[in-house]
Structure 1
Amino acid sequence: MSDPRRRVMCLVLSAQALRGLGYGLTAVQLGTILHDGGLGPAQVGLMLTAIVAGGALASLALARWADRFGRRHAYAALYLALAGCGALIATGAPPWLLGLAALSGALSVEVIESGPFTTLEQVMLAGTGAADRQVVRGFGLYNAVAATAGLAGALLGTLPPDRRLLGGVLIAVGVTGALLAARLPASVEVHLPDPGSASPPVRSRAIVTRLASLFALDSLAGGFVVQAYLAYWLNVHYQATTTTIGLLFAAVGLLQTVSFLLAPVVANRIGLLPTMVFTHLPSNLLLASVAVAPTFAVAAGLLLARACLSQMDVPTRQAYVMALVPPGERTGAAALTNTARYLARPAGPVLAGLLQPLGAALPFLVAGVAKSAYDLALWRIFRPVELPAGGME
């Protein structure tokens, strides 16, 4: 690995680790802090909607202007916006002001988010070359760091909710992240043909649109079985205690982190697209099987087996998108595919709730079938598509 690429890797992973810590803490404490500050359920929901909308708007803005403005400048600006959000939380600023700040896209309650930070980090980690083995390995490590840091942040969130704690952590993360962004080398930038060029995909528009549509389907299906619903179902169906469910989720998280690191090893042997499809498809069949598990032990075994495979498509998916499009169009491609996933996922829990009267296990079956359909469609559509020279097949 060349020195500039190694430097980019170290800086991005350091920034990602800090942000994962902050987001893990935010996911646990923000809702309670907003409630304690006098916000009702509808107002809290509106704030979370602003956070999701901000991530989408910021990603689309990056697709249009990030390469012209400069990736390093945009990255630093996002971290400074995160520090600003932290300052508003710490000082107990009016909720409407925090809502406006959240529209910057810097705030998130997802540890491994698909927002503007991810968009920039994907293209910077990919560099200007094809998706070689080092790039895929970098994406695997990138996601493993996010998951581990997010777990640490969630553990920190077990402390009593405190706006000064949360705000102070976000300020520290934002300021440090901006300093790390300033140290990124010029190699992370892309040279556009002329000053008026835009970043969104042009030559690759059709390919990126198909990918974004498929990724949205996968994300929507995943929203049917978010961890909160899974915990509820395990408790109701098997009378599992919260302690037992917590231990199961911790084990699932550990196996998913390992799967991030193993994904590049598999991709190096069979290629990016086969890894995406042929590890994801059996994990979806395992998910659907949970619906008919006769005991908690069987259900837990199926979930643990699924955790070994379910996340292997994440780093390979990120590398695949970067490999399919030329360097000058990668920011737009990352922004559009990430935003599609980010916007589709919240609809999953709503639809799962509507399925409840028809059977509590039905969301598992629907999610498994829909995600399997995504895998098969992805293979059918993109199997004939050849990656550019130097990319991993």
Structure 2
Amino acid sequence: MTEADRHSPDALAVAAAQGWFARSVLPPGVDTSAAVLLVGRALRGFCDGYVAVLLPAYLLGLGFSKLTVGLISSATLIGSALATILVGFLGSRFAQRRLLILAAVLMAATGVGFAGLSTLWPLLVVAFVGTLNPSSGDVSVFLPLEQARLAGLAAADTRTALFARYSLTGAFSAAVGALAAALPGWLTAHLGLPYLTSIRSMFAVYAVVGIALWALYARLPDLNAQAGPAATPLGPSRQIVIRLALLFSVDAFAGGLVVNALLSLWLMQRFGLSPSAAGQFFFWAGLLTTASQLVAVPVARKIGLLNTMVFTHIPSSLCLIAAAFAPSLTATLALLFVRSALSQMDVPTRTAYVMAVVTPPERTAAASLTSVPRSLASAIGPALAGAMLAAGWTGAPLVACGALKIVYDLAILLGFRQVKPLN
């Protein structure tokens, strides 16, 4: 962005709006450019919310099997993981703003691909190279770029609060997006559009949001030109990051067994929920997740980042296991709601913990390499869970997910309770 661009009327209006938004939602003392990243996270979260609900219905409507739903979900996560690895190794060589713009363009292309294609192999290719997210969390290439930038915009005492707002923004917007999963049914009922055509229109909206993100990120200054230490590959924190990445891979693999797209499929198949009803469930679950992001901050101040990660996660995993055996829809949803209120409290605290135990120049690489398991390891899960559902083992993915997550929680508590934050 040139100096003239920064002083144009449009740029000044954007800056004024950014300043008002920043004062309203950001912790005190945080650079106002963080507001742009929160808006971007909100737009992406909205799309992720309805995609996770509609993707299985769309693929089943195209005539694909449950196993294929799992395979396409796995392809999206594998592609995201490889892109995240690439960012980790090359992120220090390119301006972060340019990489964010490239990711936004890729998001637009992904929406166009899913809106226009109907056969398996082309959809697999688009899922692999694109930005589609079938899970409840953010596993995209956007994540390490935004996390590293946010970590540099806040001091140590406000970093957890900033990441909590970042996670909260994603969770709330995804909850609202889940409600939007009812729009195809409304379009079919009121405008007479074929249901598949209505779902395709939602992927077209996904593409439009990608274009909006391109315009948004183009307003950012060159992120690597900011004052402060330049991003570098991992150095003194290498061993800590590797150990964290290995443990995160266990958690990510477990989470891949019950990504939102497959949980939606499970609810539809076991209890006959419509996409609209499933969307309502994910909306309320998302609101509980949003509230938990706020609670995570004072809890972390009181008992510490690591303890917050572990002692809120284990009860949520027990609820997931119990949901697999619940005899009724009401009991199942109640257990899943309790899980939603607890399972994501570790997200802002985990991110803040990673940023705190590495040196500032290593943050981009650390964010990337600890985010990789959220997509690479979890990529195996959807295909495996799809095979379980196709074989009639309906409760197996939930039980396996809960049990593995408990193992992860105990392992990270024992392995890192003596590791102290650097900053």
TM range (shorter): 0.7 to 0.9
Q: Is the 8 A contact 1:72 1:189 kept in 2?
A: no
In the alignment, does 2:202 pair up with 1:178? Answer: no
> Does residue 367 in structure 1 map to residue 401 in structure 2?
yes
- 2:302 is the counterpart of 1:266: no
Counterpart residue type for residue 138 of structure 1 = L
Q: Closer, same or farther in 2 for the Cα pair 1:263/1:188, shift >3 Å? A: farther
**Aligned pairs (5 A) from 1:222-371:** 222-227=255-260, 248-291=281-324, 293=326, 297-352=330-385, 353-354=387-388, 361-371=395-405
Given candidates 6, 15, 31, the residue that maps to 2:40 is 15
Whole-Å Cα distance in 2 between the matches of residues 140 and 334 of structure 1?
16
**What letter corresponds to residue 214 of structure 2 in structure 1?**
A
Unaligned residue ranges in structure 2 (runs of 5+) = 1-25, 185-194
- 1:135 matched to 2:159? The reply is yes
Looking at structure 2, the residues matched to 310 and 260 of structure 1 have their Cα atoms a distance apart, in angstroms, of: 10
Question: Of residues 101, 109, 116 in structure 2, which corresponds to 1:76?
Answer: 101
Q: Residue by residue, what CA displacement relative to the aligned partner does 1:65-86 show, whole Å, maximum 9, x if unpaired? A: 1122011111111112222334
- Per-residue CA distance 1:331-386 (angstroms, 9 max, x = gap): 11111211112122243345455599897545444333321111111011111111
Superposition pairs of residues 164-175 of structure 1, within 5 angstroms: 165-166=201-202, 168-175=204-211
Amino acid at match of 1:14: V
Instruction: Report the CA distance shift for 1:189/1:269 in structure 2 as closer, same or farther (over 3 A).
Output: farther
Indicate conservation of the 8 Å contact 1:119/1:335, yes or no.
Answer: yes
CA RMSD of aligned residues (A): 3.9
Deviations 1:215-235 (A, max 9, x none): 111122233344566567678
TM-score, length of structure 2 as denominator length: 0.76
Number of positions where the alignment pairs a residue of Structure 1 with one of Structure 2: 384
Question: Compared with structure 1, are the counterparts of its residues 328 and 156 closer, same or farther at alpha carbon in structure 2 (3 Å cutoff)?
Answer: same
Give unmatched runs, 5+ long, in structure 1: none
Report the counterpart of residue 92 of structure 2 in structure 1.
Answer: 67
The answer (yes or no) to whether the contact 2:312–2:343 under 8 Å persists in 1 is yes
Identity %: 39
- 2:30–2:154 Cα contact (<8 Å) kept: no
Does 2:78 match 1:53? yes
CA 1:33–1:364: 2 relative to 1, 3 Å: closer
| CA contact 1:127–1:187 (8 Å) conserved in 2 | no
CA distance in 2, matches of 1:261, 1:307: 14
Deviation at residue 293 of structure 1 after TM alignment: 4.6
For 1:93 and 1:185, the matched residues in 2 are separated by: 39
Distance 1:81 1:355, change over 3 A: closer
Q: Is the 8 A contact 1:76 1:181 kept in 2?
A: yes
Equivalent in the alignment of 2:177: 153
Match of 1:81, SS? Answer: helix
Alignment of 1:85-234 (within 5 A): 85-89=110-114, 103-110=128-135, 112-127=137-152, 131-132=156-157, 134-158=158-182, 159=184, 160-162=195-197, 165-166=201-202, 168-186=204-222, 199-227=232-260
Instruction: Give me the whole-angstrom Cα distance separating, in 2, the residues matched to 1:154 and 1:107.
Output: 15
Give the 3 Å change call, closer, same or farther, for CA 99–308 of structure 1 in structure 2.
Answer: closer
Structure 1 residues 193, 226: CA separation in 2 closer, same or farther (over 3 Å shift)?
closer
Higher mean C-alpha displacement, 224-233 vs 338-347: 224-233
Report Cα offsets for 1:288-322 as digits up to 9, x if no partner: 34455566554443333232211100111111111
Kept after mapping to 2: 8 A contact 1:78/1:104 = no
**Taking structure 1 as reference, are residues 172 and 35 closer, same or farther at Cα in structure 2, changes over 3 Å only?**
same
